[in-house]
């Protein structure tokens, strides 16, 4: 209703979600654009808690879906969480990729993470790079990503991913 009244009066509407998004994206002095890890991630999460906003978390399965999420986050002026599930990561690697066990899912998650890192700064939004719901039977997938984290850290001084979710809810 307030947006409609502002439009009828010829004034821009500055309340609601848009105003929260504008405040939220006043993060440049605290949180850099691109993938956030460590202290930058903690600053982003503290700011979200203090200001009462949530970040969308989107499972991606291709470079096109990653780019679409980054574009939407930029348009919404919102930080975003890009996540890869085990199946989504395997899809990212491609149906034709040979491999045993979790090799495809590890390769796809790493390729997706590298793509996010290459593109996120260009879109100017903070990105939490996350892996989603690793159940006990998928722990070899997590092990492969932790190896990639360590390798990336040796070269760049920060992990490849921001966070990983271990989901043991099916365990007794």
Q: Which of 132, 143, 167, 171 is catalytic?
A: 132
148 contacts: CB under 8 Å, gap ≥ 6: 106, 109, 110, 113, 160
| 167 has catalytic annotation | no
Both tokens assigned to 75: 């348009």
| CA 78 to each of CA 40, 125, 171: distance values in angstroms, whole numbers, following the listed order | 16, 7, 35
CA–CA separation, 148 and 145 (whole Å): 5
CA–CA separation, 105 and 91 (whole Å): 8
Inter-axis angle of helices 86-93 and 103-123, nearest 10: 90
Supply the residues annotated as catalytic. 132
């Amino acid at each position: 209703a307030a947006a409609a009244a502002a439009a009828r009066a010829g004034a821009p509407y500055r309340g609601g979600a848009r105003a929260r998004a504008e405040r939220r994206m006043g993060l440049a002095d605290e949180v850099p654009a691109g993938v956030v890890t460590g202290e930058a991630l903690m600053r982003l999460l503290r700011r979200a808690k203090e200001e009462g906003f949530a970040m969308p978390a989107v499972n991606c399965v291709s470079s096109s879906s990653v780019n679409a999420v980054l574009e939407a986050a930029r348009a919404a002026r919102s930080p975003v969480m890009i996540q890869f599930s085990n199946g989504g990561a395997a899809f990212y690697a491609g149906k034709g990729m040979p491999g045993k066990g979790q090799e495809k899912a590890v390769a796809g998650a790493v390729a997706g993470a590298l793509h996010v890192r290459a593109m996120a700064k260009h879109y100017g939004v903070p990105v939490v790079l996350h892996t989603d719901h690793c159940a006990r039977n998928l722990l070899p997938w997590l092990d492969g990503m932790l190896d990639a984290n360590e390798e990336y850290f040796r070269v760049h001084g920060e992990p490849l991913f921001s966070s990983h979710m271990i989901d043991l809810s099916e365990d007794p």
